[in-house]
Structure formats: C-alpha cells, structure tokens
Structure 1
C-alpha cells in the first residue's frame, strides 16, 4: 500500500539538483501533523500536535523515566497560571505557539539559504537561481520529466508573485513567509486552493472527483483490498466534502476542506486531547491525568520538545 499526501512531489526522488523538497511547498493545513487525525488508525497526529514534530520523533527513544521528566517540564510551561491544571485555553494557546514556532524556524532555515547577498531580502532571481541553478538558463532537456520541472518553476514563480504584495520582485521576510507557508495568509488562500486542485485533478477538468480524491491518499498494490478508512473517506466525500452533491469538489468546496484555519484546528485538537485524557470529566487536565495517559500524549502535537530544548534551554 502506498499512502500519498496532498502536494507530495515524488518527482524529486533521485534528482540531484536543488529543487526544494515538500516542506518548501504548500502545506494544506497548519503544521500540527502530516498524519491523518483518526484515532482508529493510531495517535500519531495527536502525538505531534502535543509534542511537535521534532520532539515526537525523539520522545519515542526516551526511557519511561526520561519521558516523564521531560513531559513534566512541558506541562509546567503549558500551565501558565500555575494552578496545577492544564485548561482548554492553555492547551489551545500552546498548540498555536507550536504552530507559529514551526513556521518561524522553517523560515529561518531557508532564509539563510536563499538570501545570497545578505541584504535582508530575497529576490525572485535569488530563489530561482538557488533552487533551479543552471536549468533556468539551459532548460530542462537533461531532466527525465522536463515538462513537470518546467511546471514546478512556473508554479513557484506564480506563488512568489502572489506573496510579493508590492510587486517589486523582492520578498521581505513577511512575504517570504507567505511564499513558504501560504496557508497562513489570507491573500494566499487562492494559491493554496489552486495548487491543491492541480495536484489532485488528474484529468485536468478543474475539479476533483471521488476517484481522484481517494487516489491522492491511497493506491492499492496488486490484490490489496481497500482498508476500512477508505470507506469512511468515500462517505466523507459524498456526505461532507461535496456540498452541492454534484459528484465533484470545486474550488469553494476544496477551500472548506483544506483551510480549516489555525484557530479552529488548534481549538479542535485541544478539545480532542482533553476529551481523551480528562478522566474525572472536569474539563481540564491534572498532572496525574497527563502522566497516566503518557502513551497517548507522546503520540500527540503538544510536545515539540526536540526544538524546544535547543531554543528554550535556559527556561527548562
């Protein structure tokens, strides 16, 4: 079975020039997790939502004692009023903080890579030359799928121009952030929708049918039957995603599917985590409840402890 995610550019595999990887392309939702939010298939989404992506990876390698110690430090930071409990508001704010932190770190990493003249701005020519190198001059004739790579260059330029609000061909830090993370900027929402449709719409009719929708998530191997979650996704397509019931997802329906918004997603994840771990049903989490549910929390989004250790060492 192959699990495919929106926007994945498998074309990049095995290519030796510097076209950016998936992280430099559209994120169809704020970066709580790349995994599906389906408890029946595991808690990895929640794991990364509570811990953060980097810490979710390192947390699994810790002993139970080390896990409890580090988790306690994280909970202490989430509990801003120091009453010994984590409320919905505190958890909601923490998840939003982790989202913003991821974006800032991601932009920091790429800023140094692309600001070649170190003038505090990134021109389209700097980005293009760094990303595509001599291919922008010589063409893509020695690339196996030159049509796709030309399309990638065109797509990057279109997104860069949309992010470059003053149209001077040079991105400020804010504009470059919009280029890397268009899902977080209102004026970039159209680009997010357009790129998503382009990624999934295989027949080029500008809409997404059920086969394309499922095909973006699951391609069965020979003789493999569809898992139960595919049946659920088909039901979601017909009953929830396809609002006008015409058998397709148009741009407006795609927008409602992929752009839930940072606040809504963070709020929903906070409610979900409390629902799963609040044993006495008082609407908040005690330290003991969190520790008793450590296996669940460890596979959640709240704990990006790996980057936290580096960035917030003095605080911990």
Structure 2
C-alpha cells in the first residue's frame, strides 16, 4: 500500500535523522508562498519558482514551449474571470487558488481510494483501513516492534473516529478526506494540534518547551555548534510561540503556531500576482497583463505549480 510505504520511509528517515544535524522542519500548515520571500530580481522568476515549487517541480514548466504555455494559460484566465467582465480581481484569483488547493486534496484521496475500499461499497470502514494499512503487522506480531506500529494504530483510530462525523465507523469520501488531510477541515483542527503536541512532547508533560521545540527541527551533533537559524528559532519561541511567557507551549499556543489565523496564503499569493503583473496599477489584471507576465503564472499556484499547463483543457 502506498501509505504503508510512506509510513515506513518516514520512520526510517526519523531514525537516520537522529545521528546528524537536520534541515529545519516546517510544521506550519500553509503552502509555501512567494510574498514572504525576498526577490533577488523582479525580472527573473526562477527564485519564485524554486521557493514556491521546489527545484524539481519547477521543471514542469519546461515541458511546453512558450507558445503552448501562453495558449493554455489564456484558457485558464477565462475560467478565473468568473463574472466574464474581462478583468481578474484579487478576489477571483484567491478563489481560483483555493480551488486548486482543494482539488489537489481530493485528487490525492481519489488516487488511494481503491486501495482501502476493499468491498467496493464506496465507503471505507475502519476495519478496511486497518487491514489495508496494518494487516502485515497484525498478522506477524514479531514484526510490530520494528516500527511504532502499536503507537500509530490507536492514533489512526482516534483520527478516523474524529473524521467519522456520523459515527458509523465507515468513512465516505468527504470523511476520508478529513482523515487523510485533517488540516483542511475545521472539525479536525483539534486532532492536528494534539498529534503535533504528541510528536514533539518528549517528556510527556502535555506541553512543548523550548528544547523540545528546537529538537523537532534540529538534531545536535555531539558538541557541535548550533547554526544561526536555530538561534533565531529560539528567539522565535521566546518572542512569538510562548505567548503567556511560562517557558512552554500549551495546545492553544501550538494551534496559534501551526495554524495561524491571521495569515491567508491564498489571499497573499493572489495579492502578490496582481502586484507583480498589474501594469496600469488599477488593482486588477487583464488577460494581456497576465500573458505578458506568463513566466510568473506558470510557476505559481494559480496554475497548480504549472501542472495545469500540461493538462488537457477539458480536465480543468
């Protein structure tokens, strides 16, 4: 099963990471955005593409010629212009970006649905999920201690029951989407916060202190110095994470950290795209303005990281 493979890979990575310094781990639940990043050169969007997509994903753009890209981008612009007035507003861009984000989530669920709906009744019961994901470990008890199986099974069951709104222990597609992508659903936010706390709280006191916060991002070498970014994160913990200044984060403070309510990624990305492409500064974009700046849009979330430009128009 795909999820089981990811599970094993994640556990292996976690084990390996204990022996050497690690890169900073990002727990905040937002897509990487452009507008928080400094631009080295406003005439070149390679920095934007790599910061927003990652280097490998940014290469998707190279699959099409500029002419093909502009043609397909123009068709997407027509879809974004919901009131067909010839202008793309920040609100319309925001709506489109949110739609693209949501589509990714539901497409991800669709890809794995048949792996878990074993009896093909268009629902996934807890027993089906448990068998598909943990069947091997349930059958061979001697293998369970090699992984965190005994910890993860009840944790998954708790999350599954939280997503199961009607309490029938069988998830429809919407409930299963909440199970796999809990950060996307308001009623699942508490479980995301709780799981984050459990991941980081190594001493089991129900809080995250500064050392636990840092250890989640950075594994020390014996006697090795801390990088400058770690020192900055310590300051972040003191100044912005520990809101009541008691030296540790409770669940409310963890929620404020990983799910900031005062930042809307889609809004920020939409504003960024308008700001960079609005030649006449009327706070709206025409199709011509977007196509003039096509190199930015094909690498932005407005086109699902460029992926929409490689799809047939009928798929959009």
Contact map agreement 1:29 1:261 (CA 8 A) in 2: no
Q: Note closer, same or farther for the CA distance 1:214–1:101 as it changes in structure 2 (3 Å cut).
A: same
TM-score of the pair, normalised by structure 2: 0.75
- Match of 1:302, SS state, is helix
Matches within 5 A, 1:183-262: 183-219=183-219, 226=227, 230=230, 233-260=233-260
In the alignment, which residue of structure 2 is the partner of 1:43? 48
In the alignment, which residue of structure 1 is the partner of 2:112? 110
In the alignment, which residue of structure 1 is the partner of 2:19? none
Matches within 5 A, 1:1-316: 10-11=10-11, 29=29, 32-33=31-32, 38-40=36-38, 42-44=47-49, 47-48=52-53, 58-139=60-141, 141-142=142-143, 145-146=146-147, 148-219=148-219, 226=227, 230=230, 233-260=233-260, 264-304=264-304, 305-306=306-307, 310=311, 313-314=313-314
- Match of 2:283, SS state, is coil
Contact map agreement 1:55 1:307 (CA 8 A) in 2: no
Q: CA deviation at 1:88?
A: 0.6
Counterpart Cα distance in 1 of 2:165 and 2:178: 10
TM-score of the pair, normalised by structure 1: 0.75
Q: CA deviation at 1:231?
A: 5.4
Counterpart Cα distance in 2 of 1:12 and 1:192: 22
- Match of 1:314, SS state, is helix
Counterpart Cα distance in 2 of 1:308 and 1:262: 32
Q: CA deviation at 1:111?
A: 1.5
- Match of 1:142, SS state, is helix
Counterpart Cα distance in 1 of 2:249 and 2:261: 19
Q: CA deviation at 1:219?
A: 4.7
Counterpart Cα distance in 1 of 2:251 and 2:271: 29
The structure with more radius of gyration: 2
Q: Note closer, same or farther for the CA distance 1:261–1:240 as it changes in structure 2 (3 Å cut).
A: closer
- Match of 1:43, SS state, is helix
Contact map agreement 1:56 1:300 (CA 8 A) in 2: no
- Match of 2:302, SS state, is coil
Range with greater deviation from structure 2 (230-239 or 266-275): 230-239
Range with greater deviation from structure 2 (79-88 or 94-103): 79-88
Between the two proteins, the alignment pairs up a number of residues equal to: 289
Q: CA deviation at 1:97?
A: 0.7
Counterpart Cα distance in 2 of 1:136 and 1:88: 51
Q: Note closer, same or farther for the CA distance 1:192–1:314 as it changes in structure 2 (3 Å cut).
A: same
Counterpart Cα distance in 2 of 1:271 and 1:91: 8
Structure 1 residue ranges (4+ consecutive) displaced by more than 6 angstroms after TM superposition = 52-55, 220-225
Counterpart Cα distance in 2 of 1:234 and 1:8: 31
Q: Note closer, same or farther for the CA distance 1:114–1:281 as it changes in structure 2 (3 Å cut).
A: same
Contact map agreement 2:207 2:248 (CA 8 A) in 1: yes
Gaps of 5+ in 2: 1-6, 15-26, 40-46
Contact map agreement 2:72 2:313 (CA 8 A) in 1: no
Q: Note closer, same or farther for the CA distance 1:81–1:266 as it changes in structure 2 (3 Å cut).
A: same
Q: CA deviation at 1:151?
A: 1.2
Counterpart Cα distance in 1 of 2:247 and 2:256: 16
Q: CA deviation at 1:315?
A: 6.7
Q: Note closer, same or farther for the CA distance 1:173–1:12 as it changes in structure 2 (3 Å cut).
A: farther
Contact map agreement 1:184 1:262 (CA 8 A) in 2: no
